[in-house]
């Protein structure tokens, strides 16, 4: 009879991939040493994922916290990625700067989806990582 060994950190990273922006998974551990070692293993697994899917992996943040007399490790789905930044011009205006080669392709694809009749709500739901600037670019009426 074969025994199946489960890679627990890998399973938690899989779960984190399915989180919606802003959601967090907390994993309780017994001691500070276990917390530290588990976080190290979790980060190794996240690094493997980063090699396959760098943009998606960049939205998963890991960390540790001591709360309610317990040791926790967490995985959080962030709204921002380190691949997108902003340049502040001398007049105070912000300009989006992207390290992603396919950023222009993304905007073209989003515009085509709108032309095909997708609603703002449907697009926001299907593209969870839509930035505020992208929303304002696609729907100028949202600008403040």
Pairing of strands 70-77, 84-88: unpaired
- Retrieve residue 71's tokens: 């040791």
Q: Which 3 state secondary structure label does DSSP give 12?
A: helix
Pairing of strands 84-88, 60-67: unpaired
Mean pLDDT, the chain, integer:
82
**pLDDT tens digits, one per residue of 96-110:** 777 665 566 777 778
Length of the chain: 144
In this prediction, residues 66-87 reach a mean pLDDT of 84
The answer, as to whether pTM is greater than 0.85, is no
From the list 38, 37, 33, 28, the residue with the least C-alpha distance to 8 is 38
Domain locations in the chain as residue ranges: 8-77, 84-142
pLDDT confidence band for 15 (50 / 70 / 90): very high
Residue by residue, DSSP assigns 54-111 as HHHHTTEEEEEEEETTEEEEEEEE-S--TTEEEEE-TTS-EEEEE--TTHHHHHHHHH
In this prediction, residues 32-48 reach a mean pLDDT of 94
Q: Which 3 state secondary structure label does DSSP give 25?
A: strand
Q: What local confidence, expressed as pLDDT, does residue 64 receive?
A: 95
């Amino acid at each position: 009879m074969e025994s199946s060994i489960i890679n627990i950190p890998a399973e938690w990273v899989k779960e984190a991939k399915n989180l919606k922006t802003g959601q967090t998974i907390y994993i309780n551990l017994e001691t500070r040493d276990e917390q530290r070692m588990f976080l190290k293993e979790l980060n190794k697994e996240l690094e493997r994922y980063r090699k396959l899917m760098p943009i998606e992996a960049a939205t998963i943040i890991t960390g540790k916290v001591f709360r309610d007399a317990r040791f926790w490790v967490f995985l959080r789905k962030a709204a921002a990625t380190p691949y997108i930044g902003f340049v502040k011009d001398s007049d105070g205006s912000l300009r989006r700067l992207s390290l992603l080669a396919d950023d222009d392709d993304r905007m073209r694809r989003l515009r085509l989806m709108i032309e095909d009749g997708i609603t703002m709500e449907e697009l926001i739901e299907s593209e969870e990582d839509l930035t505020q600037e992208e929303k304002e670019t696609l729907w100028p009426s949202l600008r403040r």
